[in-house]
Amino acid sequence: MNRLIDKKIVITGASSGIGEKIAIKTAEKGAHPVLLARSEMKLKAIAEKIKTETSVQPFYFKLDVSDRKEVERVFVEIYRTIGNIDVLINNAGFGVFDAFHVANLDDMEKMFQVNVIGLMNCTKQVIPNMIDRNTGHIVNIASQAGKLATPKTSGYAATKHAVLGFTNSLRLELTKTNIHVSAVNPGPIETNFFESADQSGTYVNNVKKYMLQSDVVAEKIVHLMERPKRELNIPYWMNLGSNLYNMFPRLADKLAGPFLNKK
Ligand code: NJP
């Protein structure tokens, strides 16, 4: 059974990477993706491509998720245009990898504004309507970096730890409703993400052989929408590593420290 047919799925960060792929794959399933990002021209091109390939005509809206007033205005416009939202994919995000002693505090602040506050801003716009209808699904794209911090990710990992904390609390608050709250924790994925995150190319070079393809990650996220669960961890072995680390942190620091220093 196709559970996504006619569902309205709002995707932040849909102008590239996994957000773009999720938009295409949900449209292929007969859902109605709504694309959000700052790059309007990219959204327009992706919407046209989706229309040509699937005959679904997606709506798209220019949005900077870190701008609270803009988020409120755009979500009012979305509700006015498409009606109820069935799924919100909080995917917009970016990283800058730097050792903390040289890191720029403006980058840290901006990462928090987009990855954490932006995600909360968007969630806030859909939750009251979902509670009224007693249905819905919030999917937060976090990271394995939200479970296990590695060197040079003090800012980025802190934002993704915050996303997981927020997601887990929200899920518990909504236990008695029919609203699902999921976290997605991927390892490295081949996307534009690394253009800002890893400007030296060192990390990409070191983890090339573990890199996930955005298509594969998007496919699993679509499956998560069809069969909601609390967490999607990809690849599973990386999550096993994160779990072991959290069980034996002192030993892991000693044994795995050099292995985790890839940036
Ligand atoms: O990266 P990329 P991904 N307001 O750069 C948008 C997480 N993740 O697909 O605004 C609104 O291709 C940006 O659009 P634009 C990662 O943390 C990744 O890999 O037009 N949108 C673009 O559409 C992030 O949460 C990896 O510039 C904003 C999108 O975000 C998510 O996956 C590993 C925005 C980024 O697309 C998608 O990243 C991992 C703003 N202020 C988690 N700022 C990985 N790639 O390895 C950015 O564990 N965007």
pLDDT of residue 263 exceeding 80, the answer is: no
pLDDT at residue 93 above 80?
Answer: yes
pLDDT category at 257 given cuts 50, 70, 90 is low
DSSP string, 121-159: HHHHHHHHHHHHHT-EEEEEE--GGGTS--TT-HHHHHH
Phi/psi of residue 129, nearest 5 degrees = -65, -40
Q: Which residues are catalytic?
A: 156
What is the distance, to the nearest Å, from the Cα of residue 257 to the centroid of all Cα atoms in its chain? 27
CA diameter of the chain: 55
Domain ranges in the chain are: 8-260
In CATH terms, the superfamily for domain 8-260 is NAD(P)-binding Rossmann-like Domain (3.40.50.720)
Determine the average pLDDT of the residues in 120-124.
98
Q: Give me ligand 1 centre to Cα 167, in Å.
A: 18
DSSP conformation class of 2? -
What would the pLDDT profile of 167-194 be if each residue is shown by its tens digit? 999 999 999 999 999 999 999 999 999 9
* Rounded-to-integer distance, Cα 157 and Cα 9, Å: 27
User: Which protein residues touch ligand 1 with a CB less than 6 Å away?
Assistant: 12-19, 37-39, 42, 63-66, 91-95, 114, 141, 143-145, 186, 188-189, 191-193
